[in-house]
Amino acid sequence: MSLLDTIESPADLKELSTEQLEQLAWEIRERLIEVLSNTGGHLAPNLGIVELTIALHTVFDSPRDRMIWDVSHQSYVHKILTGRKENFPTIRQYKGISGYTSRDESEHDAFGAGHASTAISAASGIARARDHKGDDYHVIAIVGDGAMTGGLAFEGLNNLGASHSDVLIILNDNDMSIAPNVGAIHEHFTTAISNPLYNKVKDQIWEAISKVPAVGKPASSLGHKMEESLKNLLVPGIIFDRLGIRYFGPVDGHDIEGLVRRLRDLKNLKGPKLLHIKTKKGKGYEPAENDATSFHGTGAFDRVTGEGKKKDGPPSYTSVFGKAIVEECRRDERIVGITGAMANGTGLDYLADAIPDRFYDVGIAEAHAVCFAAGLASNGMKPVCAIYSTFLQRAFDQVVHDVALQNLNVFFCMDRSGLVGDDGPTHHGTLDLSYLRCVPNMVIMVPKDENELVNMLRTGLLYDGPIAMRYPRGEGEGVKIDHEPQELPIGAGEVLNEGSDVALLAVGRMVGFARRAVEHLSRNGIEATLVNARFVKPIDEELIGRLADEIGMIVTLEENNIRGGFGTAVLEFLSRTGRTSVPTLTLGLPDAFVTHGTIEQLMKEIELDPESISSRIESFFKEADTGLRTDRGNR
Ligand X SMILES: Cc1ncc(C[n+]2csc(CCOP(=O)(O)OP(=O)(O)O)c2C)c(N)n1
| Site residues for ligand X per CB under 6 A | 45, 71, 73-74, 115-116, 144-147, 172, 174, 176-178, 281, 296, 340-342, 364, 366, 391, 394
Cβ-based neighbours of 304, under 8 Å, separated by 6 or more: none
Burial class (CB in 10 A: 0-12, 13-18, 19+), 215: exposed
Measured from the CB atom, the residue of 290 and 615 that comes closer to ligand X is: 290
**DSSP 8-state symbol, 71:** S
Shortest distance in whole angstroms from residue 340 CB to ligand X: 6
Shortest distance in whole angstroms from residue 344 CB to ligand X: 10
Maximum distance among all Cα pairs of the chain, rounded to whole angstroms: 96
Looking at the DSSP bridge assignments, the partners of residue 142 are: 69, 170
DSSP reduced 3-state for 621: helix
Measured from the CB atom, the residue of 339 and 561 that comes closer to ligand X is: 339
Measured from the CB atom, the residue of 139 and 277 that comes closer to ligand X is: 277
Looking at the DSSP bridge assignments, the partners of residue 176 are: 180
CA angle 19, 20, 25 (to 5 degrees): 100
Burial class (CB in 10 A: 0-12, 13-18, 19+), 275: buried
Shortest distance in whole angstroms from residue 333 CB to ligand X: 29
CA angle 470, 344, 506 (to 5 degrees): 20
Shortest distance in whole angstroms from residue 499 CB to ligand X: 43
Please answer whether residues 596 and 566 qualify as being in contact, where contact means their C-beta atoms are separated by less than 8 angstroms.
no
Distances (CA, A) of 320 to 154, 253, 329, 474, 593: 35, 39, 14, 11, 29
Per this entry, what is the length of the chain? 635
Measured from the CB atom, the residue of 346 and 529 that comes closer to ligand X is: 346
Of 507, 537, 539, 500, the residue nearest 521 (C-alpha): 500
Measured from the CB atom, the residue of 76 and 198 that comes closer to ligand X is: 76
Shortest distance in whole angstroms from residue 68 CB to ligand X: 13
Shortest distance in whole angstroms from residue 283 CB to ligand X: 11
- Marked catalytic residue, from 328, 366, 558, 559: 366
Measured from the CB atom, the residue of 389 and 584 that comes closer to ligand X is: 389
**Is omega for the bond preceding 489 within 30 degrees of 0, making it cis?**
no
- 85 in active site: no
Please answer whether residues 41 and 95 qualify as being in contact, where contact means their C-beta atoms are separated by less than 8 angstroms.
no
Distances (CA, A) of 1 to 4, 27, 228: 8, 11, 49
CA angle 247, 250, 253 (to 5 degrees): 125
Alpha-carbon gap, residue 193 to 202, rounded angstroms: 10
Shortest distance in whole angstroms from residue 396 CB to ligand X: 13
Of 501, 499, 622, 510, the residue nearest 560 (C-alpha): 510
Determine the straight-line distance between the first and last CA of the chain, rounded to whole angstroms.
Answer: 80
Measured from the CB atom, the residue of 180 and 216 that comes closer to ligand X is: 180
Cβ-based neighbours of 6, under 8 Å, separated by 6 or more: 12
Alpha-carbon gap, residue 591 to 555, rounded angstroms: 18
Measured from the CB atom, the residue of 13 and 116 that comes closer to ligand X is: 116
DSSP reduced 3-state for 527: coil
- Marked catalytic residue, from 281, 382, 437, 470: 281
- Marked catalytic residue, from 66, 84, 202, 394: 394
Shortest distance in whole angstroms from residue 197 CB to ligand X: 27
Phi/psi region, residue 128 (left: phi>0; alpha: psi -120 to 50; beta: rest), is alpha
Shortest distance in whole angstroms from residue 548 CB to ligand X: 40
Measured from the CB atom, the residue of 395 and 521 that comes closer to ligand X is: 395
DSSP reduced 3-state for 202: helix
Shortest distance in whole angstroms from residue 383 CB to ligand X: 18
Measured from the CB atom, the residue of 212 and 342 that comes closer to ligand X is: 342
Please answer whether residues 597 and 626 qualify as being in contact, where contact means their C-beta atoms are separated by less than 8 angstroms.
no
- 394 in active site: yes
Of 550, 492, 499, the residue nearest 528 (C-alpha): 499
**DSSP 8-state symbol, 456:** H
- 281 in active site: yes
Of 153, 141, 144, 164, the residue nearest 246 (C-alpha): 164
Shortest distance in whole angstroms from residue 390 CB to ligand X: 8
Of 56, 18, 53, 57, the residue nearest 257 (C-alpha): 18
**Residue 62 one-letter amino acid:** S
Measured from the CB atom, the residue of 398 and 451 that comes closer to ligand X is: 398
Please answer whether residues 495 and 531 qualify as being in contact, where contact means their C-beta atoms are separated by less than 8 angstroms.
yes
Phi/psi region, residue 290 (left: phi>0; alpha: psi -120 to 50; beta: rest), is alpha
Alpha-carbon gap, residue 98 to 105, rounded angstroms: 8
Shortest distance in whole angstroms from residue 434 CB to ligand X: 19
Measured from the CB atom, the residue of 175 and 475 that comes closer to ligand X is: 175
Distance of CA 127 to the CA centre of its chain: 26
Q: Which residues are catalytic?
A: 281, 366, 394
